[in-house]
Amino acid sequence: MRILLLCLLIISCAYDEYDCPTEVAYEQNIKEIIDNNCIVCHESYNYNQVLNNIENIIYRIELDTSDSKIMPPKWAGYDKLTDEEINQIKLWNECK
Ligand code: HEC
Q: With 60 as the cut, is the pLDDT of residue 13 above it?
A: no
66 CB contacts (<8 Å, ≥6 apart)?
none
Whether the Cβ atoms of residue 62 and residue 86 lie closer than 8 Å to each other: yes
Q: Does residue 7 have its Cβ closer than 6 Å to ligand 1?
A: no
Whether the full predicted model's pTM is greater than 0.75, yes or no, is yes
| Euclidean distance between CA atoms 61 and 85, whole angstroms | 10
What is the residue with the minimal CA distance to atom 42 of ligand 1? 41
CB 78 less than 6 A from any atom of ligand 1: yes
Residue of the CA atom closest to atom 14 of ligand 1: 69
From residue 31, give the alpha-carbon distance in Å to each of 18, 23, 36, 37, 68. Answer: 13, 10, 8, 10, 24
Quick check: 1 pLDDT over 70?
Answer: no
- Which residues contact residue 20 at a Cβ distance below 8 angstroms, ignoring those fewer than 6 apart? 92, 95
Taking only the tens place, the pLDDT of each residue in 14-72 is 555 566 899 999 999 999 999 999 999 999 999 999 999 999 999 999 999 999 999 99
Taking residues 1-20, report their average pLDDT. Answer: 55
